[in-house]
Structures are given as C-alpha cells and as structure tokens.
Amino acid sequence: MAESSSSDSVSVDVETIYLGGKEHIVRTGRGSVSVIVYGDKEKPALVTYPDLALNHVSCFQGLFFCPEAATLLLHNFCIYHISPPGHELGAAAICPDDPVLSVDDLTDQIIEVLNYFRLGAVMCMGVTAGAYILSMFAMKYRERVLGLILVSPLCRTPSWTEWFCNKVMSNLLYYYGMCSLLKECLLYRYFSKEVRGSAEVPESDIVQACRRLLDERQSLNVFRFLQAINRRPDITEGLKTLKCRTLIFVGENSPFYDEALHMTARLDRRYCALVEVQACGSMVTEEQPHAMLIPLEYFLMGYGMYRPSQFTGSPRSPLSPTCISPELLSPESMGLKLKPIKTRI
C-alpha cells in the first residue's frame, strides 16, 4: 500500500497538536502546505480539500462532528485534511513576491504530500473548488485515487455569472480585504437562503460561526487561491477517463447545481451516483451533514467498509455491483422525511 517518497523537497517543519489532530507543515516544491492528520495511520487514507477561503474547521467540522458520520469515517480511515496555501488556522500572509500557483500546481502539491506520508491510493473528499482540485488530481494521478466524494463540484471554466462574482470578490479582497460585502458574497456561495437568514429570520449558528472564521483569513491568501480557481481549465473531457467510483452531493439551492449535473452526465455512469439535497446550499458538509450519512455508508460498502457493529442500524452486507444501486439511494431507503434527497444515477 505505502509508497516511498519520490521528492527530497518535502519535509516536516512543525508539528502542533490541536482539536484532536496533528498539524504537519509540509514543504513541497511549490510552497508549504498545512496537513492536519486525524486517526490511525495504519488505516486507509481519506484526503480532504476545502472550498475557497475555508479550511478543515470551517468546511468539514459539521460532518465530522456528526457522530454517525464521524464514526463511519474515523472507523475506516485516517483523515488527512489538506488546506489550500495560506488557509490553515493562524496562517500568515503569503509573501507577495511568491508566484501565484495554478490549479495544476495545487494538484502537484497533493502528490508531494501523499509521497511524504508514504500513502498509496487514497479516498478523496472535496467541496466546490476543493472538489475541482481533487478531480483534476484523480485525472492526473489515477493510480493514486481509490474513489471521489465530491460536494457541489466544479469541472468547467467559470460561467459568466461565476466569473463576474469572482471578479467582484477579487477586487474586494485586493482593495478592502475581508470586508462585510465580501463575506456576504462568500456566504451566498456556501449556504442556502434558509440558513443565511433575512430581515425577519436571524442567520443560523453555522453561518455565524463561518462568518467569524472568515475574519481570520488573510485576504491576500484567499485572493491567490481565487485567482487560481478563476483561471481553471475545463476538465470535462478528462472525466471520461476516470474509472474510480464517484459519489457527488449537491444542494439544490447551490449556485453550482447545474455544474454538478453536467459533471455527473460526463462521468461513467457505472461508477457514479448523484445525491441532490433539498433546501441546501453548496456546503452540504456543514448545512446538512446528516443527509450525507446513508449515501456515504452505501458508497463505502462497495469497498468493504462499515460502521462499527455497535451501531445496529448500520448495513451489514457488502455491495456486489460496481456502482450504487438507485434503490439503495432512494429517499425511502434512506428514511429521510424532513430533509429528503433526490438521486440520479
């Protein structure tokens, strides 16, 4: 399973234990990367990558604080949370003289991180911009990816609407930093209007927490990641070459809903399933993490992975087909009434 490191440019400078995980600052040929490691390193690896201006706390905490999902994932995986450059907790501003990394550079950082930790093939989970980076990584290094779990993913060049929104955010970041208007743009990107609130309804706790965490971001670092994402190429054609299983979640109120449908249509239908979460924005991991549990369980059963036996409601028999059965992902099978899920195979 493990492979030896192929790059001498990778080293660990700092190890800090917090929030139950250990932070490794890993030097790569394209700059330093923060990786938070949770769990038993003898287990298979699950690599996560967050969306713009987020890190593992603001993007995946809701999912990992959901007891059933945390049990499922930590029972089967060692978690490696990779942050985009300068997005980790307490990050300093990146030197303005450092070159702006492209999405290709960011995928190459991931392979160096995997090589440092001597990881073979890994499971990948990414949200929006992070889902794009991991999809590109899976296309570029197919033998290093077991499967993809993508949340509101991107795969095409920015639409005119996204390009305009990104341009506005770039100007705000450059001239005003992490100002109130910029945070509103980002919260619109992440969450549905139901949790963002209105004049009559206060915004939810998860939005308030995200707003506070955005205050900690270095605006220059976010600006650089946004530049890379705004210049991304269309990877639609390359999706046809992917043979790993792919599970896609998208909130029906996500600005990237059509993008997820487009991506699903281009992937090999034998290996792909789409879960549409109703009354939810892009960041399903934070807004409705419970809606991810049953699809994740059935997806991981295809790899022989289960929740521990003390959870009596957990499935017990592995799946024999090479994809997820539509019947298994139906709202009725999931038992979801308050937050129903539509699926496409």
253 token code pair: 């109120």
Confidence band for 143, pLDDT divided at 50, 70 and 90: very high
Confidence band for 20, pLDDT divided at 50, 70 and 90: low
pLDDT of residue 21: 84
Confidence band for 323, pLDDT divided at 50, 70 and 90: very low
Phi and psi torsions of 160, nearest 5°: -60, -40
Lowest mean pLDDT among 16-30, 150-164, 242-256: 16-30
Q: Which of 68, 257, 262 is nearest to 155 (CA)?
A: 262
Q: Which residue segments constitute the domains of the chain, with CATH numbers given?
A: 20-155+233-300 (3.40.50.1820)
Confidence band for 192, pLDDT divided at 50, 70 and 90: very high
Confidence band for 201, pLDDT divided at 50, 70 and 90: confident
133 and 145 Cβ atoms separated by less than 8 Å? no
Find the angle CA(315)-CA(319)-CA(323) to the nearest 5 degrees: 125
Look at residue 203 and tell me whether its pLDDT is greater than 80.
yes
User: How many CB atoms are closer than 10 A to CB 82?
Assistant: 27
Look at residue 207 and tell me whether its pLDDT is greater than 50.
yes
| Residue bearing the bigger pLDDT, 11 or 146 | 146
174 and 271 Cβ atoms separated by less than 8 Å? no
Whole-prediction pTM: 0.86
- pLDDT tens digits, residue range 85-115? 999 999 999 998 999 999 999 999 999 999 9
